[in-house]
Amino acid sequence: MNKVIDIILQMRRLDGELPKREQRVADFVLANLEQAAYLRQSEIARAAGVSDATVNRFCISLGCEGFRDFKIRLTQSVAVSLQYLGGPGNDNSVSDQLVVQVFGALVDTLNLVRQQLDSEAIEAAIDLLAGARRIAFFGVGGGSANVAREGANRFFRLGVPAEAHADGYFQRMLASTLDKGDLVFAISQSGSPAELLDSVAIAKQYGVKSISLTKRGSELAHATDVAIEIDIPEDHDIYKPSASRLAYIAIIDVLAAGTARRRPEQVKEYLRRIRTSLVPLSSDPGPKPIGD
């Protein structure tokens, strides 16, 4: 999949320069883009009034390897085009618009974040997380505190003792009780809260490693052993909540998934136990999300 040439564009570009019968194929395909992907070579041939062979040559004229290749590219191009054209969208009501806006912003933010992720930092973080005996997630303020809780929740399920704290004093106190082998995971979008900086510094005194999830180049990023640095443009439409928290949680998902893969057997067992412990609480015996 080296270069993706848009096949529809290609057809338009070669329009007029193709042999007569091949041109008829092009005309037919362009006029029936949506259905074309579902048709077989012979059906297209018949519909365009030419032979199978001509259809095949047409594909090759377009730069494809054959009909198969052509069909794949056409399907892709059409799918993408329809995407832009909004498919079965009914953007009538106000709430539909809202949904489109909010979800669109989320997806955009996720993309933005994905591009910024540094795989080395991610892997270094997973190394630390997978080896940690105990993980303390620290976040301050409504948003980051919740991300911290989410992190604790995720890792707790992997069998690592994990806890989250939002209180500055408690964070400092806890940090001073940690020991080598433990890990501090500090979360802050601003990267400057004194609570977190202090906690990380205190922990470091006792040989405790630290990871931060924060703004690029922030104080907190410098202070920690591994920094996952992400810049998220704040949306200034104050009626639209920021997508940054979602992005942070997504990153924690990545870390949790990575950690789980490092210790597959353990994780399987812990999840099984947690699942088992929840069974009596529910009447539905089917597979369910763990812990609601």
Residues at the contact surface with DNA, assessed by CB under 7 A:
19-22, 40-42, 49-54, 56-57, 59, 65-69, 71
Alpha helix stretches (DSSP H) within 85-217? 94-116, 119-131, 141-157, 168-177, 194-205
Q: C-alpha distances in angstroms, 33 versus 63, 64, 78, 183, 271?
A: 18, 17, 7, 56, 48
Under the criterion CB under 8 A, does residue 250 sit at the interface with a second copy? yes
Under the criterion CB under 8 A, does residue 4 sit at the interface with a second copy? yes
Cα of 143 vs its chain's centroid, Å: 19
Selected binder of a second copy within 20, 265, 280, 284 (CB under 8 A): 284
DSSP H or E stretch at residue 262: helix 244-262
**Cβ-proximal residues to 270 (8 Å cutoff; 6+ apart), any chain:** 157, 158, 159
**Cβ-proximal residues to 33 (8 Å cutoff; 6+ apart), any chain:** 8, 74, 78, 81
State the binding partner of 181 from a second copy, DNA, none, CB within 5 to 8 A by kind: none
- Shortest Å, Cβ 207 to DNA: 48
Count of residues engaged in binding a second copy, rule: CB under 8 A: 96
Residues 63-122 that bind a second copy (CB under 8 A): 71-72, 75-80, 83-89, 93-96, 98-103, 106-107, 110-111, 114-115, 117, 119, 122
Under the criterion CB under 8 A, does residue 265 sit at the interface with a second copy? no
State the binding partner of 137 from a second copy, DNA, none, CB within 5 to 8 A by kind: none
- Shortest Å, Cβ 257 to a second copy: 5
Under the criterion CB under 8 A, does residue 248 sit at the interface with a second copy? no
Candidates 14, 49, 2; CA nearest to 28 is 49
Under the criterion CB under 8 A, does residue 179 sit at the interface with a second copy? no
Under the criterion CB under 8 A, does residue 289 sit at the interface with a second copy? yes
- Closer to DNA at the Cβ: 20 or 236? 20
Token pair, residue 21, equals 């019968």
Handedness of CA 151, 243, 112, 289 (dihedral sign): positive
- Closer to DNA at the Cβ: 44 or 221? 44
- Closer to DNA at the Cβ: 17 or 265? 17
Q: How far apart are CA 45 and CA 54, in angstroms?
A: 8
Cα of 172 vs its chain's centroid, Å: 33
Under the criterion CB under 8 A, does residue 288 sit at the interface with a second copy? yes
- Closer to DNA at the Cβ: 32 or 153? 32
Question: Can you tell me which residue has the tokens 């992997």?
Answer: 158
Under the criterion CB under 8 A, does residue 131 sit at the interface with a second copy? no
Residues 28-47 that bind a second copy (CB under 8 A): 34-35, 37-38
Under the criterion CB under 8 A, does residue 285 sit at the interface with a second copy? no
Question: In a 3-state reduction of DSSP, which class is residue 160?
Answer: coil
Under the criterion CB under 8 A, does residue 140 sit at the interface with a second copy? yes
